[in-house]
Amino acid sequence: MYDISNFSLSDMTHCGAALRKAGADASSMEEAAGRIVALLHDELRAQSGKRDCALVRTFITLPYRQLPDEQQAFAARILPEIVNQPELKCLTLLATAGEEPAWNDRRSSVGHQALPLPSEASIARSPMISQLIRQLGVEIGTLLSPSSEMMLDNTQHTFNVFHVVDAVGSPHIPAQQQFVIPYGVQSVVGFGGLLPPGELFATILFTRARVPREVAERFKTLALNVKVALLPFAGVRTFA
C-alpha cells in the first residue's frame, strides 16, 4: 500500500513497476486501463487503511468513428452534428474505479463517457478539461489537429502533472456540491501523455488526502509506466 500524502521515491518505484505490468496478458487497452485504475484505487491508502482515492479514472482522446456504438450515441447527444464529423476528437472514458458501484463501469458514467472536443473555444468552456490538457503540457490546437511531425516529437517527451492542491472551491473542479464536498475530495492529481498517433491519455486521481506539489510531481514518472502498459494496444485494440 502507498500513502499518497507521503508518496516517497520508493513508493513511486514499486508502484510504477506494478503499473507497467498492467498490460501483461491484457486483450485490450481498456482491460489494461481497468487494471491500472483498480490498482491505484486499491493500493493508495492512508495509514488507517482507508482508501486515499474516492475515484480514479483513465481517459483517452479518440476520433468519433473509433468509439463503440454506445459512446457514439452519448457523444451525439451532446453534439448532434458530430455524426457528420467522424474524425472529431472525443475525450473518452476508458476505465474507472471508485467508491460507488456505478463508478466501476465506464458505461455507467452519466456525464463523461465521451465528450466531443470540437474546438479550442469549446474546451475552454470546460475548465477541468482545459486545465488538464494545458497543465500536462499539450497544446490544444496540436491535439485537435495533429501533424505527424509534431506528434512524433510530443510522444517522446515527458509531460507534466495536472494538480489541484485544494479541490474544494476550485474553479477547475466541477460538481462541488454533488461530488467534491460529499465525498471529501481534497486534491486532484492527473498524469498522462500522448500515444501514437497523437492521442492524449490521462489518469486522474480524486483524493481524500491533501497532496502537496512535491508529491504530485512524482506522478510524472508513473505516467511513463502507464504509457508502457497502454502502448501495445495503441491503434490496434482500444476496447474490450
Does 142 fall in a domain?
A: yes
d(CA 74, CA 232): 27
Does 182 fall in a domain?
A: yes
Does 17 fall in a domain?
A: yes
Nearest to 135 by CA among 172, 94, 93, 102: 172
CATH number of the domain to which 35 belongs: 3.30.450.40
Number of domains observed in the structure of the chain: 1
d(CA 137, CA 21): 26
Q: Per-residue pLDDT for the chain (240 aa), expressed as one digit of tens each?
A: 888 988 888 999 999 999 999 888 999 999 999 999 999 999 999 888 899 999 999 999 999 999 999 999 999 998 899 999 999 989 999 999 999 999 999 988 888 898 898 887 777 777 788 878 777 767 666 666 654 444 444 545 556 788 899 999 998 888 899 999 999 999 999 998 888 877 889 999 999 999 999 999 899 889 999 999 999 998 889 988
Nearest to 218 by CA among 189, 198, 187, 238: 189
Does 240 fall in a domain?
A: no
DSSP for 131-180?
Answer: HHHHHTT--HHHHHS--HHHHHHHTTSPP-EEEES--TT-TTS--IIIII
Does 239 fall in a domain?
A: no
* Cα 223 to chain centroid, rounded: 10
- pTM (two decimals): 0.89
Domain, as residue range, for 66: 4-233
Does 112 fall in a domain?
A: yes
Does 139 fall in a domain?
A: yes
Q: Quick count: other Cβ atoms within 10 Å of Cβ 211?
A: 24
Does 117 fall in a domain?
A: yes
Q: Quick count: other Cβ atoms within 10 Å of Cβ 134?
A: 15
